[in-house]
Structure 1
Amino acid sequence: MKQKVLIILILMGLISLIYAIKKGIFSKDDDSYTSLKLPDVVDYNFHIKPILSDNCYTCHGPDANKRKAGLQLNTKEGLFGVLPENPDHFSVVPNNASKSAIYKHITSNNPDEIMPPPDSKLSLNSYEKKLIKKWINQGAPYAKHWAFIPPEKAPLPENEFKEWEQNEIDAFVLKKIEDNNLKPSEKAKRSTLIRRISLDLTGLPPKPEHIKKLTDDLSNESIEKIIDAFFALPSYGEQMAQSWLDVARYADSHGYQDDSYRTMWPWRDWVIHAFNKNLPYNKFLIWQLAGDLLPNATKEQILATGFNRNHPITQEGGVIQEEYRSAYVSDRTNTLGKGLLGLTLECAKCHDHKYDALSQKNYFELYAFFNQVDEMGLRMDAVEAKNQKYFADAPYLKLSDEMIEKELPFVKKKIGDTINVMIMNDSAPKATYVLNRGNYDAPSVEVKPNAPENIYPFSEDLPKNRLGLAKWTTDVNNPLTARVFVNRIWSLLFGEGLVITSEDFGVQGSLPSHPELLDWLARDFMEHDWDIQYLLKKIMLSATYQQSSEITPELKKVDPENKLLARASRFRMSGEMIRDYVLTTSGLLNNKVGGPSVKPYQPEGLWEETNAGGDRGVLTKYVQDKGDKLYRRSLYTLWKRTLPPPNMTIFDAPNRDLCEVRRQKTNTPLQALALQNDEQMLEAARVLAQQVAQKNEDSTEMLTNIFQRILVRKPDQNELDTLKQYYTDATNVFKNNKENAEKLLAQGEYKKVDTDPIKTAALMLTTQVIYNLDETITKE
């Protein structure tokens, strides 16, 4: 009898245990968290808030329509206040976890009391429960959102493997690596490091003289000298400008239905010039936001304000002027938020921001700074219909030969041409109102220009105009601007920022993987006068940057996404960089800097399929350029918003209707098709094959030469054997079909060279194989 009772009790216990696990009362993965060490000091922003956001905000967060029991845990008042349905109890009682309702509910074994409730399919693991307990017992220190707290330099961590460190960056990175019982990777091979630095600073593969210099001496002193040499190249400014064009939503067309031509390339010339002369980032921003309002503003400072006029503009007759004018002002406001401050300001246009501490009033106070420019919603000079009298919508800057010669020599304008470039120029003060639901025709209360106090109060000493806004944006106490830019530079070098969501530093954005490092770099950047080249060099001289990208089984298991930075990152280059890489290694690249946009190869008929019909402007039909214009850097390819360059769109380039900070990363069959069949790619392979075929070398020398020109390094024996076999097979195919060899060598408009067609065609196909390697299109 006793045995039967015992068996029944055991079965009942097992049933209860199974029920509890299914209901989420016990976490099935508790064992994996028991060994994790709790931090010495539990931080609200980085330890507690993510737990609450993931598990509690669904029912007790910012959405009032879904909120239960009247409890709101995403505010300080709700977190430390009394329970609305039980006034005798508090959510959190500092220094006393046992009396805190939150802790009681997350540790309860009662299915009716445990939080999150079992039917939510959410649960806290043991480590998260311990974190909350320790935080409460430490006094439950609360802080506003981390990104709204001005960055400060934390003391450098002390690490065991200190000899690996090359500068302050490494101290912060190594601390995370060692905390996870890992070791950093070895330094990258010389050829890899040479290629990496060149691609990062110029967007192009290194020249032979740079390769030799670094190969002979790979000390940090040598690397510093080669970095300085790259800074001195015009291609540095072009590389840095490339990503800024996405932020600035630069295009050569107005957008919307007609999508006619606009002349904004002189502003692009200024951006390249600004990076090449290493204009400090704070001035770089001030000039673009408000260069026209500076005392005795120069033509260069005025031209820089074209940044604010890069947005789409309609040319459609019959539109409501105020509707579109309001959209342009909103665009500038949103670009300030996303591109410079890392905030989703646009979420507050129609209502108070659901997550960040930004009200609709805050939005329109920022909107007011950009609401003074003298412009119309319809821009008629873009419509190039026959017998139409054109006029330019003010304000614009008229660039004459004399002005270019005396004040803007970096603008590569043809002599005799007169060019109008859109710029900023405030008119008489204009009243700004909060727009009900964001609608242009529903003004409510009037607001004055101001900045969100939750970010950083707008000083009474600053003028209430764009210049005041620019100075507020670049104030050393503004918590966002330096952080956002440092993070963007980091993402250019490592493929991802320390904050992955480079466009969103708000509550819904990702937390920084290395918050102390991000803050240290941001403060250090400002202390060194916002010097962009100083920042780049600081990062590139770190052991962190110079690591190999090879992944060990241990790193793959512990940190497959390389969040700990225990190795260098590998990621595919942008479409622009891939095309420029191929042009450079083939010898086709036209190194001319600046000037109007060009139209290289493009499949026929694409523009005709997307235009509005009729013959309204120069962008109705694609007329390909000829000669050396076909081989300009991709930076200068004409950008039509309704149909951007297809060979770059395939590799995730945006259409530039809006500010874009972070391009998406995809991997599609179309990308392989573009690399194999794009006319520019085939032409580059032909030209390189012709150059090598002329030297009358044997196959080993020819293939080694081509391989090294494309990938910097020499092929190993297995790679060389594979290429030789492919080359031999291709030669045999063409021996039996010389006509196909000659057809293949007809690709592209670059001059043909009199070489053996069979040998050259086989070499061309082999070259194309190397161009299609993952290693060729990957930055690592």
Structure 2
Amino acid sequence: GLKFFEQKIRPVLTQHCYSCHSKDAQTNKKLKAELFLDTAKGMLAGGETGPTLIKGQSAKSLIMKALKYDGLDMPPTGKLPANVIADFAKWIDMGAPDPRQGELVAKPKREINLAEGKQWWSFQPLKEIAPPTGAASNSIDRFIQQASAGKKLQLSKPATKEQLLRRAYYDLIGLPPTPEQIDAFAKDTSAGAFEKVVDELLASPRYGEKWARHWLDVARYAESGGYEFDGFRPSAYHYRDWVIRALNEDMPYNQFVKLQLAGDKLHPDDFQAASAAGFLVAGPYPGQITAKTVERIRYDQIDDMLMTVGGSMLGLTLGCVRCHEHKYDPLLHKDYYALAASLAKTVHGTRVLDPDPVATKTKLEKHQQDREPLVIALRKFANDELPKRFDAWQKAELPKQPEATRWQILEPVAVDAERSYLKWLPGGIVAHDGTINPGTVKQRGRGAKKATPANDEYQITFQTHQKNLSSFRFDCFTDKALPQRGPGVNADGGFQLTELKITAKPLDAKSKEPVQELKLKAVFAAFEDKDQPLANAVDGKPATAWVVKTTAKKDNAAIFELEKPLAGFAGGTELQITLQFRELGIGRLRIAMCTEPNPTTWAGDFVPQNVYEIRGILAANNNKVPEPLRENLARWFAPFDEGTNKFVQAVRSHDIAMPRPPLTEVYTTIDGGQDVFYLRRGEVDNKGEKATPGYLQVLTRGELPKGAEQKDPRIALADWMTDLEQGAGPLLARVMANRLWQNHFGNGIVSTSNDFGFQGERPSHPELLEWLAKELTKNGWKLKPLHKQIMLSATYQQSHESHAENSKIDPENRNLWHYQPRRLDAELIRDALLAVGGNLDTKNMYGPSATNDNSQQRSIYLRVKRSELIPLMSTFDAPEPTQSIGERISTTVPTQALVMLNSPLVRQQAEKLAKRIAPSPETPMKEAILAAYRIAFARVPSDNEQDEMQKFMESQRKIMGGVSPANNDKAFIEFCHTLLCLNEFVYID
């Protein structure tokens, strides 16, 4: 055995394994997986993934899986030859004899001390911080002044009114002020003039559109799955629209977070809550998955959710804990999987819900109210006019009607379905109207709601006054509107009828006779598979079905006979026919009945049941029509009398026009997925025990409220995330307060806005951040009051002027001694171009994303496809939405200037701007230049700028061949284009 080891095993280990798995590898800092394969003891002990081998059991040894590339691929440079792998199996099976000496090398393990970890500044409970004393009325200013005073920094003078107005407009709504808005602010000399502007901007619908863009960055929002396939998600835009609405409504931030984590669980039938939950599944997801990769991709999706939740809401790098304890932060490996278990049964998908159930309920109630007068009119006609009309017809026409026929087409009096909406068509046909409801609930008549099952079920109600019913016939028709022409509604055009049930009860509500469940036997089908015959529909076994699949695109029919003819009830019979399907049902269905025994074929005439119902009523009432039956008689008599038909059809038409909810698809979370297990090194082929839902221990204080473990795991997670006393609420508040500050000043108090852990930057003004976070929670978690507090501070209202001495002391302006100019985000540059051109569409909010870059809607409404980002956006640093982005980079590269010079969009908007303000006899050139500056920069040009631009246009006219009306227009366009290419246009100062 030792000889075999020396000849066959040691050389392979030396050549392929020692470089990464030996004491020398440890010395050279190249050791992988804490695994030593250079000693016998190390070989047996294994590394992070467990023991390397089990003596005598090659089939159960981890090293064999690695050599065979079965989940673990070793060596990574390439799979070893089959004979070498066979040698290792033989060696293990002979007991793995190994002469190598050497003790196990101690593996230092970092122990996380949670008690110490909880002392980290961002993991502590929120403190009540009193602002410093000072002359400033705004508390923010006193914090900033206190920090600056100790460093001998001189704060800048206030910005001009024009600078401040432009800054506020871009900060809050992402658009430039108009000349009219500039003039109004200039004329308002009151002390509260700027506060009034801030209030107006916070109330503007444009606010939500601008600030939603910041959140969509951290939410890694896009409308496609990414990767090679990059499949489109046509209903993902509802999440974007929800964010805009939530911000415009100033939804409390804790509720904003809760709905994104568990909206679909908190409010299962609410469209907006389902839209909010789209946050969890907004990330990339492969479009092509194999059986081998499905489990790994599932864990990757949960990891994407956790990384996004961690970065966006908690400012923590949770992805680092998937494989091991966090190397820097006090985040435990088991805590990661506790959070993962909370999301285990969450997958992406689509649901169809009513976006406005309140409006639908109101419409249904009004529809019902409007029906009452029609019914009253019918009833009055039936009592006053019908008897004499019917008597005349009975004597003259009834004897001429046919005496017998095989099949009578039943006319439904009510139809309903679980997953579908059905409608009546002429000729007794019940039709699927093309609307499928796979959502959580379905709106019923008068606003009632009922849970929607996975499989459809039709309930169709008929009435008859005839006796001795023997058989029923079901005709299933094809139609071009159905999938594959039908007759089924399933994607293949087929259907699977699992159960057919028919019950009969008296029409007379006072009758005490019980409901009868009719026993059926299958007689005949136009098509039936020998393994899935018609008889399956009446065998009482939901697991079996009559399957119509191979005859898709052809009409079909089936006949069922009653085991015992139905004699019928005195006063008439109500039949309810229930058809239960696997998945979806039949697209076009007609039901007929027969009073003949044993109709073994479907041959025979088809007639409406009207004449036979009239005869049935007369036969049961001594050839008379009692008053209680007159309204019912009118229904059967209507086809034979125009006057009667007018009243009957008024009710019937009204019933057919019952409002349907505007069901809308939304990309969101749906139930699915499997339990989560602890993964050693994050590898799906190396599972430990099952994980149970839980939280980050470092952020949990004391015992959680009773009943938390009984809640849905995502609801419990949302509660913990927003819990200020015992959960992550304090960190949640700090992170969001920092994001607001960052997007007003260009840099957060914590500059690493997605990392508040040990590797993140410490806050430049820790007490100010603590105070802001506390203010956020005191204001009921509302963001708009915090915006206002920041913008009314003298710190925010400083000019951008620099000071040489200040720059030496604080070159990065971390102490905010002046306002830091910053470039507009890519989307705002495009919006500003459309705004100055005068053709920005601000009326069309929400809805499907624009697929054409030339759309005049705001940029937030442009489709975001991960593999096809818009070039203008990418040039100006719009991020790839593959992960949570807490802060955009801002580059300065030559291509940006080239885009502004050569982009068709920029040129087009320059032409439109020129057309808006072109000089004319009524508008001298000086006035036109002034108007252009006010529109583009919200200020008037200096005398020098006026002169320079006049000279520029003169030079352009010379190049074009001299002065002429056409050249004057072209030169003015060049001037406008030049303004749009200046840095000032794309920078806030």
| TM-score normalized with structure 2 length | 0.55
1:355 Cα deviation from its structure 2 partner: 0.4
Q: CA separation in 2, counterparts of 1:557 and 1:564?
A: 13
Other-structure match for 2:974: 765
Other-structure match for 2:693: 449
Contact in 2 for aligned 1:450/1:464 (Cα 8 Å):
no
**SS of alignment partner, residue 346 of structure 2:** coil
Other-structure match for 1:259: 230
**SS of alignment partner, residue 352 of structure 1:** coil
Contact in 2 for aligned 1:710/1:776 (Cα 8 Å):
yes
Q: Does 1:711 align with 2:686?
A: no
Matching of residues 295-306 of structure 1 within 5 Å: 298-306=270-278
Q: CA separation in 2, counterparts of 1:408 and 1:211?
A: 44
Other-structure match for 1:227: 198
Q: CA separation in 1, counterparts of 2:221 and 2:850?
A: 15
Q: Does 1:144 align with 2:144?
A: no
- The one-character-per-residue Cα deviations of 1:535-582 (angstroms, maximum 9, x if unpaired) are 100111111111111112222222221111111111111111111111
Q: CA separation in 2, counterparts of 1:652 and 1:207?
A: 27
Other-structure match for 1:778: 987
Other-structure match for 1:438: 682
Q: Does 1:538 align with 2:492?
A: no
- Aligned AA (2:283): H
Matching of residues 436-515 of structure 1 within 5 Å: 436-457=680-701, 459-461=704-706, 462=708, 463=711, 465-477=713-725, 478-515=729-766
Q: Does 1:331 align with 2:331?
A: no
1:420 Cα deviation from its structure 2 partner: 2.5
**SS of alignment partner, residue 263 of structure 2:** helix
- For 1:595, which of 828, 847, 850 is the aligned residue? 847
Q: CA separation in 1, counterparts of 2:313 and 2:355?
A: 34
Matching of residues 91-130 of structure 1 within 5 Å: none
1:369 Cα deviation from its structure 2 partner: 1.1
Other-structure match for 1:183: 154
**Unaligned 5+ runs, structure 1:** 1-62, 67-140, 376-394, 410-414, 602-628, 739-755
Q: CA separation in 1, counterparts of 2:715 and 2:671?
A: 11
Q: CA separation in 2, counterparts of 1:640 and 1:236?
A: 24
Q: Which has the higher strand share?
A: 2
Contact in 2 for aligned 1:456/1:479 (Cα 8 Å):
no
- Aligned AA (2:894): P
**SS of alignment partner, residue 787 of structure 2:** helix
1:400 Cα deviation from its structure 2 partner: 5.5
Q: CA separation in 2, counterparts of 1:726 and 1:218?
A: 37
User: Based on CA coordinates, which of the two structures has the bigger radius of gyration?
Assistant: 2
Q: Does 1:358 align with 2:334?
A: no
Q: Structure 1 pair 502/408, CA: closer, same or farther in 2 (3 Å)?
A: farther
**SS of alignment partner, residue 498 of structure 1:** coil
Q: CA separation in 1, counterparts of 2:207 and 2:898?
A: 30
Residue range with higher mean Cα deviation, 343-352 or 760-769: 760-769
- For 1:637, which of 852, 862, 873 is the aligned residue? 862
Q: CA separation in 2, counterparts of 1:527 and 1:416?
A: 40
- Aligned AA (2:232): Y
Q: CA separation in 2, counterparts of 1:404 and 1:325?
A: 37
1:453 Cα deviation from its structure 2 partner: 1.3
Residue range with higher mean Cα deviation, 725-734 or 205-214: 205-214
Q: Structure 1 pair 733/307, CA: closer, same or farther in 2 (3 Å)?
A: same
**SS of alignment partner, residue 678 of structure 2:** strand
Q: Structure 1 pair 239/286, CA: closer, same or farther in 2 (3 Å)?
A: same
Other-structure match for 2:167: 196
Q: Structure 1 pair 64/682, CA: closer, same or farther in 2 (3 Å)?
A: farther
**SS of alignment partner, residue 444 of structure 1:** strand
Q: CA separation in 2, counterparts of 1:326 and 1:712?
A: 51
**SS of alignment partner, residue 451 of structure 1:** coil
Other-structure match for 2:907: 682
Q: Structure 1 pair 642/730, CA: closer, same or farther in 2 (3 Å)?
A: same
Contact in 1 for aligned 2:932/2:976 (Cα 8 Å):
yes
Matching of residues 409-448 of structure 1 within 5 Å: 419-427=664-672, 430-448=674-692
**SS of alignment partner, residue 522 of structure 1:** helix
Q: CA separation in 2, counterparts of 1:407 and 1:683?
A: 47
**SS of alignment partner, residue 699 of structure 2:** coil
Q: CA separation in 2, counterparts of 1:234 and 1:271?
A: 12
- For 2:776, which of 512, 516, 525 is the aligned residue? 525
Contact in 2 for aligned 1:274/1:284 (Cα 8 Å):
yes
Contact in 1 for aligned 2:750/2:756 (Cα 8 Å):
yes
Contact in 2 for aligned 1:727/1:762 (Cα 8 Å):
yes
1:297 Cα deviation from its structure 2 partner: 5.4
Q: Does 1:662 align with 2:887?
A: yes
1:442 Cα deviation from its structure 2 partner: 2.1
- Aligned AA (2:714): R
Could you say what the CA RMSD is over the residues aligned between the two structures, in angstroms? 2.7
1:258 Cα deviation from its structure 2 partner: 1.5
Other-structure match for 1:237: 208
- For 2:138, which of 167, 173, 194 is the aligned residue? 167
**SS of alignment partner, residue 396 of structure 1:** strand
**SS of alignment partner, residue 674 of structure 1:** helix
Q: CA separation in 2, counterparts of 1:508 and 1:768?
A: 45
- For 1:560, which of 808, 811, 815 is the aligned residue? 811
**SS of alignment partner, residue 351 of structure 2:** strand
Other-structure match for 2:132: 157
Q: CA separation in 2, counterparts of 1:150 and 1:65?
A: 43
Q: Structure 1 pair 182/425, CA: closer, same or farther in 2 (3 Å)?
A: same
Q: Structure 1 pair 317/178, CA: closer, same or farther in 2 (3 Å)?
A: closer
Q: Structure 1 pair 459/292, CA: closer, same or farther in 2 (3 Å)?
A: same
**SS of alignment partner, residue 865 of structure 2:** coil
Q: CA separation in 2, counterparts of 1:437 and 1:233?
A: 50
Contact in 2 for aligned 1:291/1:297 (Cα 8 Å):
no
Q: CA separation in 1, counterparts of 2:917 and 2:354?
A: 46
**Unaligned 5+ runs, structure 2:** 1-25, 30-115, 364-659
Q: Structure 1 pair 193/288, CA: closer, same or farther in 2 (3 Å)?
A: same
Q: CA separation in 1, counterparts of 2:124 and 2:899?
A: 46
* Structure with more contact order per residue of length (Cα contacts < 8 Å, sep ≥ 6): 2
Other-structure match for 1:611: none
Contact in 1 for aligned 2:271/2:354 (Cα 8 Å):
no
Q: Structure 1 pair 419/734, CA: closer, same or farther in 2 (3 Å)?
A: farther
- Aligned AA (2:831): D
| TM-score normalized with structure 1 length | 0.70
1:332 Cα deviation from its structure 2 partner: 0.7
Q: Does 1:734 align with 2:979?
A: no
- Aligned AA (1:178): A
- The one-character-per-residue Cα deviations of 1:340-388 (angstroms, maximum 9, x if unpaired) are 100011111111110000121111111111111255xxxxxxxxxxxxx
Other-structure match for 1:247: 218
Matching of residues 691-710 of structure 1 within 5 Å: 691-693=916-918, 695-696=920-921, 697-710=923-936
Q: Structure 1 pair 405/730, CA: closer, same or farther in 2 (3 Å)?
A: farther
Other-structure match for 1:397: 351
Other-structure match for 2:829: 578
- Aligned AA (2:723): D
1:431 Cα deviation from its structure 2 partner: 2.7
Q: CA separation in 1, counterparts of 2:670 and 2:289?
A: 25
Percent sequence identity over matched residues?
A: 35
Q: CA separation in 1, counterparts of 2:661 and 2:816?
A: 54
1:404 Cα deviation from its structure 2 partner: 9.7
- The one-character-per-residue Cα deviations of 1:588-635 (angstroms, maximum 9, x if unpaired) are 21112111111344xxxxxxxxxxxxxxxxxxxxxxxxxxx6211111
Contact in 2 for aligned 1:280/1:531 (Cα 8 Å):
yes
Q: Does 1:346 align with 2:597?
A: no
